[in-house]
Amino acid sequence: MGDVFPTIKAAVVQAASILYDREKTLDKAVALIEEAAGQGAQLVAFSESFIPGYPYHLWLGAPVWYRDLFKEWFLNSVEIPSKTTDILCNVARTNNIDVVMGVSEREGNTCYNTLIFINRLGKLLGKHRKIMPTHAERAHWGLGNGSDIKTWDFDEYRLSGLLCWEHSMDLMRHAMIAQHPQIHVASWVGGGAMALWDDIFEMTSELCSRYHAHVGECFVLKADGTLDQAGYEKLCQTEYQKDKIKLGGGKSAIIAPGGKYLAEPLKDREGIIIADLDLNTIADWAHLHDAVGHYARPDLLSLLTNTGEYHVTRPMIERSNNYFSGVYSSNTNNLEKLTADIERLSTDFTNLQSTLQERLTVANQ
């Protein structure tokens, strides 16, 4: 009979945040999770920085203009863990649904563009921080690190997630695909609300998401945000902003392995789209290519990844008394091995000296 994989009913939420109100947006998220679960969804995905809302203002003026908006957004960003994440975990457990949520995470005085992963048991599995904020975003978000390059094992499937223009970073995508996720969450801002580059953004997000489904041979939940009237009015404080942003944005969709739509794009409005993900259909592409398997040439082309966690401070480690060791005394195994190697080399050198001396003696006779 062979292996039989499950079919997962997945939902993508396209909704406007209540800018920049963490508690009200959290209440809205809870209601949307409950609504998705009520329609039978086992997994639900949200857009980039849904809580407390994407910082659209950073594209709409100079820092001196958006200073107050930044402060409001910063103070409403989400600490992990916190009461906010506890509530999300509780609603996931109560409704028996896996949740992937985009938040602006705050740690100390720095925020990060983050996805959090919660299983249906209400456990916070972990998070992914965007490794490189895009363009003006670097004024608001710090950098993720190597520990963010990972996938997550849920009860019935393996899932990955990337944020927005990370999907244009081919090496990042390849590092994720190499971990063989069956479902991928592509979490985007509602870039179509940006009046000056709405067409370019929508084209890019669609191409990147569908290409990821094709090369990664996985299902892609493309979760976009959108901007409502209240958000528009909050951002448009002068005529200058009114020329730069508009209502709507968002083109969420659910994409099958290979790149075809399972659920057609939902454009410029709020809603929930749902589709059944038959994980067995991934095998239909196995004979065609596997970019990280039989259709790869690691002997010619390979990717080096640093999956270590970045720390601002590190403790000073006392060096070994052995000046020649070149290693730290805390690493006993390496020190013992190096000491043994030095002793072996010393013996070899002594033997070589003896041999040379004997040959010189013979040559001089």
CA distance linking residue 239 with residue 332, whole number of Å: 66
Q: Check residue 197 and give its pLDDT.
A: 83
CA distance linking residue 256 with residue 38, whole number of Å: 23
Active site residues: 48
Q: Check residue 354 and give its pLDDT.
A: 83
- pLDDT, one tens digit per residue, over 46-55 is 999 999 999 9
Q: Check residue 328 and give its pLDDT.
A: 45
Q: In what order do the strands lie in the sheet with 261-267?
A: 152-153, 158-163, 183-188, 219-224, 251-255, 261-267
Q: Which residue has the tokens 């480690």?
A: 317
Query: 339: part of which helix (H) or strand (E)?
Result: helix 332-364
**Residue 12 φ/ψ, nearest 5 degrees:** -120, 130
Q: Check residue 284 and give its pLDDT.
A: 93
User: Which residue ranges of the chain lie beneath pLDDT 50?
Assistant: 320, 323-330
Q: Check residue 330 and give its pLDDT.
A: 47
Assigned token pair, 254: 């659910």
| SS3 state at 14 | strand
Q: Check residue 212 and give its pLDDT.
A: 97
CA distance linking residue 364 with residue 246, whole number of Å: 96
Question: 75: Cβ–Cβ under 8 A, 6 or more apart, which residues?
Answer: none
| SS3 state at 116 | strand
Amino acid at 130: K
Q: How far apart are the first and last CA of the chain?
A: 83
Contact 76, 84 (CB under 8 A): no
Assigned token pair, 5: 């994989």
In the structure, how many helices (H) and strands (E) does the chain have? 8, 12
Give the pTM: 0.86
Helices 83-94 & 22-38 angle (0-180, nearest 10)? 10
Q: Check residue 317 and give its pLDDT.
A: 63
Q: Check residue 154 and give its pLDDT.
A: 97
Q: Which residue has the tokens 């895009």?
A: 134
Q: Check residue 344 and give its pLDDT.
A: 86
Q: How many CB atoms lie within 10 A of CB 258?
A: 16
| SS3 state at 108 | coil
Pairing between β-strand 7-14 and β-strand 43-45 as defined by DSSP bridges:
parallel
Q: Check residue 331 and give its pLDDT.
A: 54
Q: Which residue has the tokens 């970073």?
A: 169
CA distance linking residue 43 with residue 148, whole number of Å: 21
Q: Check residue 318 and give its pLDDT.
A: 53
CA distance linking residue 112 with residue 171, whole number of Å: 21
Contact 114, 105 (CB under 8 A): yes
Instruction: Fold for 7-285, please state it.
Output: Nitrilase/N-carbamoyl-D-aminoacid amidohydrolase (3.60.110)
Buried b (16+ CB within 10 A) or exposed e, 12-24: bbbbbbbbbbbeb
CA distance linking residue 245 with residue 99, whole number of Å: 30
